[in-house]
């Protein structure tokens, strides 16, 4: 059977499980995951190589994780939504992922409306089926089928890896004949230092309370691989002195906690011993400044 390949965007509301799904499909952690909405801020590609067999063609799928669909209330939010919109353009397929544990609301309608902008076929993924009863699932299927037509509706659990085989099967069959775009051993378009910055941001999101995480960004300032240890210095940006005080904590306890847990995750990622230095810096209202947003964008970070 001929080799298939193509680009498949994963879109949906914040917290629906897009990044969890990408990681589960790729088999490695390429996108950070937290229980807080609006964790992902930029597009992340993950590559999945598919072995052929039993009526399944061989191929390579480029999945694109995106920020959660929301109504932006800041320049940062607008940029995040630009990432979503561009992920809806010229794709072979779009996967709309829905959190089945949440009641249908305005945000879901907003997401469905946004999909009117895409000319690609849309597959509906009903996620988190591990956490609901069957009658509820049937109710959701019924509701969505009445709202628009989908190329397919597939119930899945990204955390329990249920339904993922059916998903890959379905996706690869719909892709056109095409080349292998990326080397077999490459799993993502994200450079190592961006993955490292994201792992630090993940720890900040998980360790800190309500308001601080959304006001933070992480920038790697030094990344030096030595023979025995990799030295990494990173700045955690926040918007106000009060947030800085929270991030540092009593006698530096919070920053230490973030650093220790981030270091463990980074060492696992790099497969090397790491010396991690973290600084907290205040940059007034960076989320509203186009200049600051440019500087903190990962593409600037890696010099692209």
Binding residues for Mg ion, rule CB under 5 A, total 4
| Cβ nearer to ligand GTP, comparing 166 with 253 | 166
Best CA proximity match to 96, nearest among 6, 9, 7:
9
Residue 9 interacts with Mg ion (CB under 5 A): yes or no: no
Residue 90, C-beta contacts closer than 8 angstroms, at least 6 positions apart: 7, 120
231 φ/ψ sector (left φ>0, alpha ψ -120 to 50, else beta): beta
The stretch near ligand GTP (CB under 6 A) out of 37-45, 196-204, 251-259, 271-279 is 37-45
Exposed, middle or buried by CB within 10 Å (0-12, 13-18, 19+), for 153?
Answer: middle
In the chain, count H helices and then E strands.
10, 9
The stretch near ligand GTP (CB under 6 A) out of 32-40, 191-199, 238-246, 264-272 is 32-40
Which position among 49, 85, 86, 159 is part of the footprint of ligand GTP (CB under 6 A)?
A: 159
Residue 120 interacts with ligand GTP (CB under 6 A): yes or no: no
For the chain, the straight-line distance linking the first and the last C-alpha, in angstroms and rounded, comes to: 38
* Beta carbons of 180 and 3 less than 8 angstroms apart: yes
Closest distance of CB 30 from ligand GTP, Å: 12
Exposed, middle or buried by CB within 10 Å (0-12, 13-18, 19+), for 109?
Answer: exposed
Which position among 9, 39, 60, 188 is part of the footprint of ligand GTP (CB under 6 A)?
A: 39
Q: State the binding string over 71-100 for ligand GTP (x if CB under 6 A, else -).
A: ------------------------------
Contacts with ligand GTP by CB under 6 A lie at: 12, 14-20, 33-35, 37-40, 67-68, 127-128, 130-131, 157-159
Residues that bind Mg ion (CB under 5 A): 18-19, 39-40
């Amino acid at each position: 059977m001929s080799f298939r390949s193509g680009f498949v965007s994963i879109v949906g509301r914040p917290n629906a499980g897009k990044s969890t799904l990408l990681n589960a499909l790729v088999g490695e952690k390429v996108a950070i995951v937290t229980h807080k909405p609006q964790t992902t801020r930029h597009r992340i590609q993950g590559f999945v190589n598919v072995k052929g067999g039993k009526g399944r063609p061989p191929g390579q799928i480029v999945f694109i994780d995106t920020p959660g669909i929301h109504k932006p209330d800041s320049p940062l939010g607008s940029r995040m939504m630009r990432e979503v919109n561009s992920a809806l353009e010229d794709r072979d397929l779009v996967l709309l992922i829905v959190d089945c544990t949440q009641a249908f609301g305005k945000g879901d309608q907003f997401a469905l409306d946004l999909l009117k902008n895409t000319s690609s076929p849309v597959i509906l993924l009903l996620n988190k089926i591990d956490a609901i009863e069957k009658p509820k699932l049937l109710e959701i299927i019924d509701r969505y089928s009445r709202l628009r037509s989908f190329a397919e509706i597939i119930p899945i659990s990204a955390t329990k890896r249920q339904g993922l085989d059916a998903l890959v099967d379905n996706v690869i069959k719909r892709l056109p004949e095409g080349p292998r775009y990326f080397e077999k051993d490459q799993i993502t378009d994200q450079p190592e230092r961006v993955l490292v910055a994201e792992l630090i941001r993940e720890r900040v999101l998980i360790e800190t309370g309500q308001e601080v995480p959304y006001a933070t960004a992480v920038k790697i300032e030094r990344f030096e691989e030595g023979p025995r240890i990799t030295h990494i210095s990173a700045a955690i940006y926040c918007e106000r002195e009060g947030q800085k005080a929270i991030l540092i904590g009593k006698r530096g306890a919070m920053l230490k906690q973030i650093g220790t847990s981030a270091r463990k995750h980074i060492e696992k990622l790099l497969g090397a011993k790491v010396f991690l230095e973290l600084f907290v810096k205040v940059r007034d209202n960076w989320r509203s400044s186009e200049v600051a947003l440019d500087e903190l964008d990962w593409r600037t970070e890696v010099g692209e």
